[in-house]
Amino acid sequence: CIFEKKSNFSFFFQPAQGNVQLKDVSFAYPTCRRQMVLNKLSLTASFGRTIALVGPSGCGKSTVIQLLERFYDVTGGVLVIDGRDIKSYNIRHLRSNIALVGQEPTLFNITIRDNIAYGMENVAQEDVEAAAKLANIHGFIITLPQGYDTVVGSKGNQLSGGQKQRIAIARAIIKNPKILLLDEATSALDTESEKVAIFFYNFFFEILHFSVKHYFEDKIYQRNL
């Protein structure tokens, strides 16, 4: 993976919109250079649109997500954000403007409040609660004896899959990113949480979404294609 110290440039990532272009992008993981996961993939993802990446396991959907977060650099071609090669951006500022909600969200052995506000400074409690309400998790949190001070355990093992995903959604909401990456983001939500999917469409309408699914079955991915 690529870390900040390996960035040779220091442009602040403050795009007007967050438009993305993949131009003949090819990629192979460092451990298997001979096996191309992506082979000259080209696409344009414009402001306010949803791009759905759909296909079987191993076809490179999540790889595109990793390239957009610059965990790896492309093997061939170029990945452009708002007219600049992604390599020209300071990695910290790049990632601060991108939010990822995955099938297995990364939660830490800290409080629910700190998980929602993770990576941000000086976040007010009312902002944390507002994000949790929009993600349909606030009602559950306030039933806990410690409320937002509840420690979720290693990898969030004190929570169900759906609860973890809703906390991850709240984290994305409070971050207010330029680019939102959804990787099987609602696979563990029940039917009562369908309004979370509808909210995603409304709240994030004016940013760019990249959505990864095996099938077109999730309402998030059907609303703006």
Measured distance CA(88)–CA(92) in Å, rounded: 12
Higher-pLDDT residue of 97, 205 = 97
Residues 157 and 204 grouped into a single domain: yes
Residues 110 and 211 grouped into a single domain: yes
Instruction: Confirm whether 111 is domain-assigned.
Output: yes
Over residues 139-168, the mean pLDDT reads 94
Residues 90 and 108 grouped into a single domain: no
Count the domains in the chain. Answer: 2
Q: Which of 32-41, 46-55, 98-107 has the lowest mean pLDDT?
A: 46-55
- What lies within 8 Å, CB to CB, of 76 at 6+ separation is 24, 25, 26, 27, 40
User: Does residue 117 have a pLDDT over 60?
Assistant: yes
Residues 126 and 64 grouped into a single domain: no
- Looking at residue 186, its pLDDT comes to 61
Instruction: Confirm whether 222 is domain-assigned.
Output: no
Residues 18 and 51 grouped into a single domain: yes
Q: DSSP assignment, residue 74? A: -
Residues 158 and 55 grouped into a single domain: no
The last residue of a domain, from among 80, 99, 118: 99
Look up the domain containing 155 and give its range.
Answer: 103-179+186-217
- Looking at residue 174, its pLDDT comes to 92
161-178 residue pLDDT tens: 889 988 998 999 898 888
Over residues 69-93, the mean pLDDT reads 92
The last residue of a domain, from among 99, 119, 136: 99
The last residue of a domain, from among 65, 99, 133: 99
User: Does residue 223 have a pLDDT over 50?
Assistant: no
Q: How sure is the predictor about 114, in pLDDT bands with cuts at 50, 70 and 90?
A: very high
Residues 38 and 133 grouped into a single domain: no
Instruction: Confirm whether 60 is domain-assigned.
Output: yes
Higher-pLDDT residue of 47, 128 = 128
- Looking at residue 212, its pLDDT comes to 64
**pTM tops 0.85, yes or no:** no
Residues 115 and 158 grouped into a single domain: yes
Residues 10 and 49 grouped into a single domain: yes
184-212 residue pLDDT tens: 766 656 655 555 665 565 555 556 656 66
User: Does residue 221 have a pLDDT over 80?
Assistant: no
Q: What is the CATH number of the domain that holds 130?
A: 3.40.50.300
Residues 76 and 33 grouped into a single domain: yes
